[in-house]
Amino acid sequence: MKKSKFKLLFSSIVLSLVLLLSVANPFALAIASDTNRSSAITYHGQVLDSGKWAPNTYKAINNLIQENRTHNSKRKPYAVFDWDNTSIFQDTTDNVLNYQINNLKYKMTPEQFEYSFTHGDNKPIPQENFVEPYKNVNGQSVNIYKLSIDVVSDYKYFWAHYKGLNPNADGTLSDIAAVQATDQFKDFKAKIWFAYSALIDTFGEDVAYTWQLNMFVGYTPDELIQLCNEGIAYYLAEKIQNVYFDSPATLPGIAGEVKNSVIGNYFTQGLRIIPEMSNLMNTLRKNGIDVYISTAAMDTVVRSFASNPLYGYNVPEANVLGLRLKVDNAGRYKAEIPDKKDYAINVKHGKAYNINKYLVPKYRANPILICGDSSGDYEMMTELSGFNNVKMINDKEPVKMVLISNRIKGEGLGELSKIAVSQLGTPNPSIVLQGRNENTGLWIPDERTLRLGKTSLQLTK
């Protein structure tokens, strides 16, 4: 058989297979056609690496870059990314905090720790009982006051006996392994994680997230970056898994024994870099589009990752908008956030508010692209775009595109995800999805996601 006839026959077979697959699986046609994207579309400037992008999403993002690329430094477009579970896999602060707990790397006296543990959003945390299911193993109600008595007692024990926390300690606990072997340590760790989750569900993110920042009181910014560097490096190498911390029955204290394993309150261990996102950020900049991070984590914590050249995201430190703590006269963080009239708590509507207050006037425009993964990103995705029939907070041209890292969320983000599904295969989608494998922390070339511990892909909730 002649070579030309063979090529024709082979092409016919491939086309037939693609058509058959597309009937059985609507994603197959997009994946198959994606192999010819370079011949179908002509791109200029730096182009995204194909990586493990969902084909439709890859095409939409590339087109957005082409339509908005510029060499005009005085009128640059910009994009805004959430950080945790969007730009990277998993939560930076959670992993750094767990590293801090495991190594007892605090810079507070017991009195300072007690204040930090009982305050959030610049005021004392209410002493009312936590909502269900946050009770001890005997079914008794728990609140921040009861937990603080127990956790501060544990902290005082470490302060008296571990020189790694207090140089004037007696040294009975000779090293961190000796600390970790104590019931006080198990109680301390379990009740901190119990408190954090209970605060979110009882009093909301503004209280809980600012409370979380208080664990860094006493650090200078440079010292906190060093702590984050250690924690990030450690958990980049750790296995991805859900871990539960329960307090020991031998040390019930005032709050009683608490079991995070019973109420489903787990810590997801492990961090991963997402190469496609670092490449996207670098590609945007190469095409004259500025990149910002808007995170509900502390700005210094995220800068230690996003602005560290070791990890390749190369985000300027000044381009990270996150939660903030004020510093004292010695340059050390204190348990106080800035005035919310000047800088909103960068959570939910606070993200949209800060973008509108600080970035929109600078660029005289809304972002062209917003990327996120959770309900904490919904407001910046919608209040700057009008998507999902949400009223915009300014009169600028709406955000052109929203990219959702698909974590199979419900409520508002779930509604946006369903809009994205309805736009699959259309030439100009405004909302796009990107799937991932939660078992590896890596993306997959699909809009669907493989949940941690699951074996089948899922598109929406």
Helix axes 299-306, 92-103, angle to 10 degrees: 100
pLDDT at 72: 87
The mean pLDDT value of the chain amounts to: 92
CA-CA-CA-CA torsion sign (445, 451, 457, 461): negative
The pLDDT score that the predictor gives to residue 14 is: 40
Residue 17 has pLDDT above 50, yes or no: no
Tell me the average pLDDT across 430-436: 99
Contact criterion met (CB below 8 Å) for 189 and 245: yes
What pTM does this model have?
0.90
Range in 4-13, 45-54, 283-292 the model is least confident about: 4-13
Query: Exposed, middle or buried, 30 (CB in 10 Å: 0-12/13-18/19+)?
Result: buried
Lowest-confidence pick of 22-26, 62-66, 262-266, 352-356: 22-26
Q: Which one has a higher pLDDT value, 11 or 405? A: 405
- Residue 342 scores a pLDDT above 60: yes
State the average pLDDT over residues 198-211: 98
Judge whether residue 460 has pLDDT over 90. yes
Quick one: which of 151, 387, 436 has its CA closest to 273?
Answer: 436
Note the pLDDT of residue 20: 38
> What is the side-by-side strand order in the sheet with 457-458?
442-443, 436-437, 449-450, 457-458
Instruction: Label residue 15 by pLDDT band (50, 70, 90).
Output: very low
User: What DSSP string runs through 174-227?
Assistant: -SHHHHHTSHHHHHHHHHHHHHHHHHHHHH-HHHHHHHHHGGGTT--HHHHHHH
- When pLDDT is cut at 50, 70 and 90, the band that residue 41 belongs to is low
Reply yes or no on whether the pLDDT at 12 is more than 50: no
Q: For 50, which DSSP code?
A: -
Cα(271)–Cα(441) distance, integer angstroms = 8
Instruction: Evaluate the omega torsion of the peptide bond into residue 133 and state whether it is cis, within 30 degrees of 0.
Output: yes
> In this predicted structure, which of 1-5, 218-222, 293-297, 365-369 has the lowest mean pLDDT?
1-5
Beta bridge partners of residue 327, listed in sequence order:
333
Provide the b/e sequence for 377-406 (b: ≥16 CB within 10 Å).
Answer: bbbbbbbbbebbebebbeeeeebbbbbbbb
pLDDT-based confidence at residue 73 (cuts at 50, 70, 90): confident
CB-CB contact of 82 with 347 (8 Å): no
Q: Give the pLDDT confidence score for residue 74 in this predicted structure.
A: 86
**What percentage of the chain exceeds 70 in pLDDT?**
90
Q: What per-residue confidence (pLDDT) applies to 45?
A: 77
pLDDT digits (tens, 9 = 90+) for 393-407: 999 999 999 999 999
Residue 273 and residue 236 in contact, taking contact as beta carbons nearer than 8 Å: yes
Confidence bin at 11 (pLDDT 50/70/90)? very low
CATH number of the structural domain 92-269:
1.20.1440.320
Return the CATH class of domain 47-88+274-330+338-458.
alpha beta
Side-chain-facing half-sphere of 271: CA atoms under 13 Å: 26
What pLDDT is recorded for position 42?
Answer: 59
| DSSP string for 59-91 | HHHHHHHHHH----TTS--EEEE--TTTTEES-
Task: Give the mean pLDDT of 414-426.
Answer: 97
Give 46 or 422, the one with higher predicted confidence: 422
Q: How confident is the model at residue 302 (pLDDT cuts 50, 70, 90)?
A: very high
pLDDT reading at 139 higher than 60: yes
Confidence at 22, pLDDT banded by 50, 70, 90: very low
Report pLDDT for 310.
Answer: 98
CB 325 within 8 A of CB 333: yes
Has residue 4 got a pLDDT over 80?
A: no
Q: Is the pLDDT of residue 295 over 50?
A: yes
| pLDDT on residue 43 | 65
Range from 46-50, 100-104, 207-211 carrying the lowest mean pLDDT: 46-50
pLDDT value of residue 136: 99
